[in-house]
Copies of this chain bind each other. A is one copy, B any other.
């Protein structure tokens, strides 16, 4: 292993953030729009998605810096989706990671437009990147749009809203999560692999890896909502229950959910073994996701 994920994160987390902020700062925009976009990009979080893009490139012996546009575009799309999800017409959240949500600071109209701006700009970033050849840009743009668009994240968000208060089966719950959060995680690994000229076999194994990691991530989220520490996860424990949301522990019992988490973690690690590269960083990320406490 070249470095631990902790070291990798220390190096690249701030680099991704600085890259995104720098790109938005360089735009010629109305002041409030720029502030609103930067406010949410700076709000932070684990930056799991862009770090997975870069970690995948590292596994293939590539320079992670060449994936900065794809990593930033992905994180901008994730950020826009949080801004729109928090709106009064959607989840109506006042706080995110302990800070006021975008619309509480800048108003609803600006929050909608900042989200639209980040979404649109993410495709510009990819199309204008100086490292990638046109063929890769087109492949990444098509994949990102499929993962983030109506058949991906947007469709998952609709299915999630429509599934609220209803009784879902495990299959329905899984189908929502695969679209709502899984597809963007899938993009992170696939984008890194595409930029590293991975073989079709490697791409297939990494897609399977990302599928399992995405579901493990969501199951652990549901478990933390019951067993987690309020201080660490930054929101009240039991909020899924009080919103009558379908969750893995609710549908499968807590021990059933933990079994499923172990199943997907193993599935992720097995898929990774079929990739004959230095995938220690990706393995560490999968393990961290499954045992994280926030």
Contact = CB atoms under 8 A, between A and B. Distances in A.
Given A128-B142, A134-B138, A138-B127, A155 B33 contact: yes
Interface residues of A, number: 50
Contacts of A32: 158, 162
A151 interface: yes
Contacts of A34: 150
Most buried by B among A37, A119, A128, A146: A119
Contacts of A229: none
Contacts of A137: 134, 138, 141
Contacts of A93: none
Interface stretch (A82-90, A243-251, A269-277): A82-90
A117 B154 contact: yes
Contacts of A151: 27-29
A113 B158 contact: yes
Given A113-B158, A145-B127, A161-B109, A150 B121 contact: yes
Interface in A32-67: 32-34, 37
Nearest to A116: B154
A84 B112 contact: yes
Contacts of A138: 127, 134, 137-138
Contact of A30 (B29, B116, B158): B158
A123 B123 contact: yes
A159 interface: yes
Contacts of A135: 134
A123 B145 CA distance: 7
A30 to B, nearest CB: 5
A161 B24 CA distance: 21
A178 B80 CA distance: 25
A23 to B, nearest CB: 11
B119 A116 contact: yes
A148 interface: yes
Q: Which 8 pairs between the two chains have the least Cβ-Cβ distance?
A: A124-B145, A89-B108, A120-B149, A127-B142, A117-B150, A134-B134, A127-B141, A117-B154
29 contacts: A27-B151, A30-B158, A33-B150, A33-B154, A33-B155, A33-B158, A34-B150, A84-B116, A87-B89, A109-B161, A113-B157, A113-B158, A116-B116, A117-B155, A119-B119, A119-B120, A120-B148, A120-B154, A121-B145, A121-B149, A123-B123, A124-B141, A124-B145, A124-B146, A126-B141, A127-B145, A134-B137, A138-B138, A141-B141
Given A123-B145, A127-B141, A134-B138, 19 more contacts: A29-B150, A29-B151, A29-B158, A30-B158, A33-B158, A37-B150, A84-B112, A84-B113, A110-B158, A112-B112, A113-B154, A113-B157, A115-B116, A116-B116, A117-B154, A124-B141, A127-B145, A134-B137, A137-B138
